Structure 1
Amino acid sequence: MSNPVVAALIARSNALGSDPRNTNYAGGNTSAKGTATDPVTGTDVELLWVKGSGGDLGTLRESGLSALRLDRLRALVGSYPGLEHEDEMVAAFDYCLHGTGGAVPSIDTAMHGLIDAAHVDHLHPDSGIAIATAADGRELTGKIFGQKVVWVPWRRPGFQLGLDIARLKEENPQAIGCILGGHGITAWGNTSEESQANSLWIIHTAENHIAGHGRPEPFGAKLPQRAALPEAQRRAKAAALAPAIRAIASEDKPVVGHFSDAPEVLEFLGSARLEELAALGTSCPDHFLRTKIKPLVLDLDADAGIEACTARLAELHAAYRADYGAYYRRHATDDSPAMRGADPAIVLVPGVGMFSYGANKQTARVAGEFYRNAINVMRGAEALSSYAPIDESEKFGIEYWALEEAKLTRMPKPKALATRIALVTGAASGIGRAIAERLAAEGACVVIADLDADKARDVAASIGGTDVAIGVRVDVTSEDEVAAGVEAALLAFGGLDLVVNNAGLSLSKSLLETTVKDWELQHDVMAKGSFLVSRAAARVLIEQKLGGDIIYISSKNSVFAGPNNIAYSATKADQAHQVRLLAAELGEHGVKVNGINPDGVVRGSGIFAGGWGAKRAAVYGVPEEDLGKFYAQRTLLKREVLPENVANAVFALCSADLSHTTGLHIPVDAGVPAAFLR
Structure 2
Amino acid sequence: MLNKQTGSRLQNLWDKNKTAGMRDSELLVYRSNLLGSDKRVTNYGGGNTSAKVMEKDPLTGEMVEVLWVKGSGGDVASIKMDGFATLYMDKLHALKDLYRGVEFEDEMVGYLPHCTFNLNPRAASIDTPLHAYVPKKHVDHMHPDAIIAIAASENSKELTQKIFGDDIGWLPWKRPGYELGLWLEKFCLGNPGAKGVVLESHGLFTWADTAEECYDTTIDVINRAIEWFETETAGKTVFGGEKHAALGAADRRKIAAALMPVIRGMVSKQVRMVGHFDDSDAVLQFVCSSDLEKLAALGTSCPDHFLRTKIRPLVVDFDPATPDIGTTLNSLAGSVERYREDYAAYYERCKRDDSPAMRDPNAVVYLVPGVGMITFAKDKATARISGEFYANAINVMRGASTVSTYVGLPEQEAFDIEYWLLEEAKLQRMPKPKSLAGRVAVVTGGAGGIGSATAERLLAEGACVVLADIDDNALEKTRENLATRHSKDVVRAVLMNVTDETAVSDAYSDMAVEFGGVDIVISNAGIASSAPVEETTLDLWNRNMSILSTGYFLVAREAFRILKTQDIGGSIIFIGSKNSLAASPNASAYCTAKASEIHLARCLALEGAPHGIRVNVVNPDAVLRGSRIWSGEWLDQRASTYGTDKEGLEEMYRNRSMLKRSVYPEDIAEAAYFLASDFSAKSTGNIINVDAGNKEAFTR
TM-score, length of structure 1 as denominator length: 0.98
Alignment-derived partner of residue 505 in structure 2: 483
SS in 2 for 1:475: coil
Does the CA-based 8 Å contact 1:67-1:102 persist in structure 2? no
- Aligned equivalents of 1:152, 1:201: Cα separation in 2: 20
C-alpha change, 1:288 and 1:251, in structure 2 (3 Å) is farther
Pair 1:338-2:360 in alignment: no
Alignment-derived partner of residue 24 in structure 1: 43
Does the CA-based 8 Å contact 2:56-2:63 persist in structure 1? yes
Amino acid at match of 2:279: D
- Aligned equivalents of 1:62, 1:453: Cα separation in 2: 41
Alignment-derived partner of residue 10 in structure 2: none
Alignment-derived partner of residue 550 in structure 2: 528
1:511-539 superposed Cα distances (whole Å, 9 cap, x missing partner): 01110110111111111111111111111
Deviation of 1:456 (Å): 1.5
Alignment-derived partner of residue 33 in structure 2: 14
Deviation of 1:374 (Å): 0.3
- Aligned equivalents of 1:337, 1:456: Cα separation in 2: 46
Amino acid at match of 1:468: V
Does the CA-based 8 Å contact 2:577-2:619 persist in structure 1? yes
Does the CA-based 8 Å contact 1:645-1:668 persist in structure 2? yes
Deviation of 1:429 (Å): 1.8
- Aligned equivalents of 1:523, 1:305: Cα separation in 2: 39
Deviation of 1:449 (Å): 0.8
SS in 1 for 2:488: coil
Does the CA-based 8 Å contact 2:300-2:408 persist in structure 1? yes
- Aligned equivalents of 1:100, 1:437: Cα separation in 2: 37
Alignment-derived partner of residue 399 in structure 2: 380
- Aligned equivalents of 1:453, 1:95: Cα separation in 2: 57
- Aligned equivalents of 1:520, 1:86: Cα separation in 2: 75
- Aligned equivalents of 1:179, 1:313: Cα separation in 2: 40
Deviation of 1:252 (Å): 4.0
The match for 1:634 among 649, 653, 656 is 656
Amino acid at match of 2:189: E
- Aligned equivalents of 1:84, 1:291: Cα separation in 2: 27
Pair 1:265-2:283 in alignment: yes
The match for 2:238 among 218, 224, 229 is 218
Does the CA-based 8 Å contact 1:597-1:667 persist in structure 2? yes
- Aligned equivalents of 2:403, 2:97: Cα separation in 1: 41
Amino acid at match of 2:115: C
Alignment-derived partner of residue 427 in structure 1: 446
Pair 1:180-2:180 in alignment: no
Alignment-derived partner of residue 213 in structure 2: 194
Does the CA-based 8 Å contact 2:450-2:627 persist in structure 1? yes
Alignment-derived partner of residue 573 in structure 1: 595
**1:578-589 mapped onto 2 (5 Å cutoff):** 578-589=600-611
Alignment-derived partner of residue 443 in structure 1: 462
1:251-278 superposed Cα distances (whole Å, 9 cap, x missing partner): 4421111111010111100001101100
- Residue-pair matches, total: 676
1:567-591 superposed Cα distances (whole Å, 9 cap, x missing partner): 1000101110111011101111111
Amino acid at match of 1:621: G
Deviation of 1:3 (Å): 6.9
Deviation of 1:351 (Å): 1.3
- Aligned equivalents of 1:249, 1:227: Cα separation in 2: 29
Does the CA-based 8 Å contact 1:458-1:471 persist in structure 2? no
- Aligned equivalents of 1:339, 1:459: Cα separation in 2: 42
Does the CA-based 8 Å contact 1:47-1:68 persist in structure 2? yes
**1:196-595 mapped onto 2 (5 Å cutoff):** 196-214=215-233, 216-223=236-243, 226-302=244-320, 303-464=322-483, 465-595=487-617
**1:67-82 mapped onto 2 (5 Å cutoff):** 67-82=86-101
1:604-658 superposed Cα distances (whole Å, 9 cap, x missing partner): 1110112211211111112212212211111111111110000000111111111
Amino acid at match of 1:66: A
- Aligned equivalents of 1:471, 1:616: Cα separation in 2: 32
1:346-402 superposed Cα distances (whole Å, 9 cap, x missing partner): 111111111111111100000000000000000010111011022100000000111
- Aligned equivalents of 1:30, 1:397: Cα separation in 2: 25
Does the CA-based 8 Å contact 2:287-2:372 persist in structure 1? yes
SS in 2 for 1:596: strand
- Aligned equivalents of 1:398, 1:378: Cα separation in 2: 20
Does the CA-based 8 Å contact 1:251-1:343 persist in structure 2? no
TM-score, length of structure 2 as denominator length: 0.95
Alignment-derived partner of residue 111 in structure 1: 130
- Aligned equivalents of 1:611, 1:102: Cα separation in 2: 58
Does the CA-based 8 Å contact 2:318-2:324 persist in structure 1? no
Amino acid at match of 2:178: F
Does the CA-based 8 Å contact 1:593-1:662 persist in structure 2? yes
- Aligned equivalents of 1:103, 1:511: Cα separation in 2: 69
Name the stretch that deviates more: 367-376 or 204-213. 204-213
- Aligned equivalents of 1:585, 1:426: Cα separation in 2: 25
1:278-328 superposed Cα distances (whole Å, 9 cap, x missing partner): 011111111111111101101321142221111111111010000000001
Amino acid at match of 2:96: V
- Aligned equivalents of 1:253, 1:647: Cα separation in 2: 25
The match for 1:126 among 145, 152, 164 is 145
Alignment-derived partner of residue 162 in structure 1: 181
SS in 1 for 2:68: strand
- Aligned equivalents of 2:688, 2:151: Cα separation in 1: 61
Alignment-derived partner of residue 609 in structure 1: 631
- Aligned equivalents of 1:410, 1:628: Cα separation in 2: 49
SS in 2 for 1:512: helix
Does the CA-based 8 Å contact 2:129-2:181 persist in structure 1? yes
Amino acid at match of 1:387: Y
The match for 1:648 among 639, 645, 670 is 670
Amino acid at match of 1:608: W
Does the CA-based 8 Å contact 2:299-2:409 persist in structure 1? no
Alignment-derived partner of residue 695 in structure 2: 673
Pair 1:624-2:646 in alignment: yes
Amino acid at match of 1:658: S
Amino acid at match of 1:259: F
Amino acid at match of 1:171: G
